[in-house]
A and B are shown apart, each in its own frame.
Chain A
Amino acid sequence: GENVEQHPSTLSVQEGDSAVIKCTYSDSASNYFPWYKQELGKGPQLIIDIRSNVGEKKDQRIAVTLNKTAKHFSLHITETQPEDSAVYFCAGAGSQGNLIFGKGTKLSVKP
């Protein structure tokens, strides 16, 4: 089955800097890769996703890149703000649509 690895587990950046979180997946048949932001005590919230037929997607300060050959995808947050501080999870879609999550990255943005 699908396995998703996520790095780093913690990331601390200064406000205004960029943050990059990387994930790898094992199942070459996976075709959907969402990123979720989870704040304390809340459910995962979708922030951006990418399907396997594109290599990059942007939404304002957030971008995701996908390298199907290498089976990895990355989240890029530019001009980070304190409110970006949260745990970020990558995921890959399994054969039935169930999401396989990475272990999460705790992002801290210092003012």
Chain B
Amino acid sequence: EPEVTQTPSHQVTQMGQEVILRCVPISNHLYFYWYRQILGQKVEFLVSFYNNEISEKSEIFDDQFSVERPDGSNFTLKIRSTKLEDSAMYFCASSEGSPNYGYTFGSGTRLTVV
């Protein structure tokens, strides 16, 4: 069964450093998403991406965050200057249709900011 692949599975970074989280969505999917989950809390929407541009973003997705689809297969989330409160699981997801068909999550990247 097709899956969404995320790397790395765990990343530790120092406060103030930049991190890039990587995702390979399912190949025929057109919509891409990033979510985060702070330990013990609910999954929160960050951003959706379609047709090479952001289609919607939440209040969490401030100027420190950016997304990119650099090469037609990867989908990245960059945090420019990490803060302690950015520590969370970050999930990538993709869907084939607009927007709720075949919605599939990756296994996540655990980001720890120290």
Chain A residues within 8 Å of B, Cβ to Cβ: 31-32, 34, 36, 42-46, 49, 51, 89, 91, 93-104
Contact = CB atoms under 8 A, between A and B. Distances in A.
B25 interface: no
A46 B104 contact: yes
B42 A97 contact: no
Contact of A100 (B31, B45, B48, B91): B45
Interface residues of B, number: 23
Contacts of A97: 31, 33, 48, 55-56, 95, 98-100
A32 B41 contact: no
B1 to A, nearest CB: 11
Contacts of B44: 101
B84 interface: no
Interface in B42-56: 42-45, 48, 55-56
A51 B106 CA distance: 23
B106 A101 contact: no
Given A94-B56, A98-B58, 17 more contacts: A32-B100, A34-B100, A42-B108, A46-B103, A89-B42, A93-B100, A96-B56, A97-B31, A97-B48, A98-B56, A98-B99, A99-B33, A99-B45, A100-B45, A101-B45, A102-B42, A104-B42
